[in-house]
Amino acid sequence: LALTLISDEALVIINFLSIIFLGVSIGLGLPSCLSFFADLTSIESRGLISGIVWSSIGGTMLLFAFLMSIFTLQESIVFLALWRLLGSFAFIFLTKGSFENPIVQESLSYLDIIRKKDMLLYLLPWIVFSIVNFAETPILEKVFGTETFTFIGLIGYAIIGVTAIIGGLTADFLGRKRVVILGFMMVGIEYAALSAFYNLPSIAYLFMVFDGITWGLFFPVFFMTVWGDLGEQYAKEKYYALGGLPFLLANFASILVRPYVEVIPPSAAFSFAAFFLFLAVVPLMYAPETLPERVIRERELKRYIEKAKRIKEKYS
């Protein structure tokens, strides 16, 4: 709220401090928040609940974009401050002491977590995707134009709102690994198509759909579910911190690429991205499924029984 009363000259300092405080709050608060989410959800339904969360986020982002377009800067700041304050009240009631039978979980060191083979097999592809995603952003903005690229981002939130639930539900039934591999295949095809047809106006629609679906799969599964699954028997803050770090730090790739965007051929950049995204699937082929095999088999058996009943009723 105080930002509405501050002069333009002071906004530079305010922006600098805001970046610092935002970084600290995300770096310290987000892993704990996601760990708390994982502790409150069962591994059998974590994907669906994550999908519902990200579907809500997608819808909320569209609403915010609409409101920001009709509000003034001061009104937008006041609205966001009130929204943030409203969200903060939830933490008054959300404490780990609210568990009926709180369990003290072992906290592994970052080094111990990194040494785990299953963690590395999921983390390495996520690092590759994060770097490629942000490194290609300035080039995509140049190819599509700033206005079109912004529009694609907004429509992407709408697609995320739909596909996040589907992706989360699929991850609970078929497993996280299949959903993640599907996401990598889609984004790889997306960049392969861009490398050949980036100068066609219609390619923007293909990119918009594929990119929205990919994020609809990755946000609930890769961002919220997999790290909680891998740390199921342990304190999960460090798992989520390591899982979120590549995505946050990869923003610097965009900063490094932007000064050279005029001299980088889009076709070469997109081909480079497609190659490494398809290559990133290789570790996932050897990664273990984080959803227990028992859960997958039980649900497959349940679907088989229901199908058999329908066939019996049809011919009886």
pLDDT tens, residue by residue, 41-55: 888 889 999 999 988
Say what the pLDDT of residue 99 is: 52
261 has pLDDT over 60 = yes
pLDDT of residue 139: 93
Identify the pLDDT of residue 106.
75
In the numeric block, the tokens 């009943």 are attached to 309
Q: What percent of the chain has pLDDT over 70?
A: 84
CA 108 to CA 97: how far, in whole Å? Answer: 22
Among 99, 117, 102, 105, which residue's Cα sits nearest to residue 230? 117
> Which residues lie across from 106 on neighbouring strands?
234
Residue 123 has pLDDT above 90, yes or no: yes
15 pLDDT band, cuts 50/70/90, is low
Q: Binning pLDDT at 50, 70 and 90, where does residue 9 land? A: low
Question: Any idea which residue has 């609930």 for tokens?
Answer: 220
Contact status, residue 203 vs residue 193, Cβ threshold 8 Å: yes
CA separation for the pair 307, 316 (Å, rounded) = 14
Q: How confident is the model at residue 287 (pLDDT cuts 50, 70, 90)?
A: very high
Q: Is the pLDDT of residue 89 over 80?
A: no
Is pLDDT above 80 for 105? no
| Cβ atoms 79, 69 nearer than 8 A | no
Closest C-alpha to 127, from 114, 144, 112? 114
DSSP 289: P
* Overall average pLDDT of the 170-196 stretch: 91
CATH number of 2-90+110-300: 1.20.1250.20
The residue with tokens 């599907």 is 182
In angstroms, rounded to a whole number, what is the distance separating the alpha carbons of residues 226 and 247? 15
Helices marked H in the chain: 11-40, 46-70, 73-88, 90-93, 110-115, 117-144, 146-174, 176-197, 203-218, 226-230, 237-249, 251-257, 266-279, 281-286, 293-315
Q: pLDDT value at position 118?
A: 92
Predicted pLDDT of residue 90:
66
Across the chain, mean pLDDT equals 82
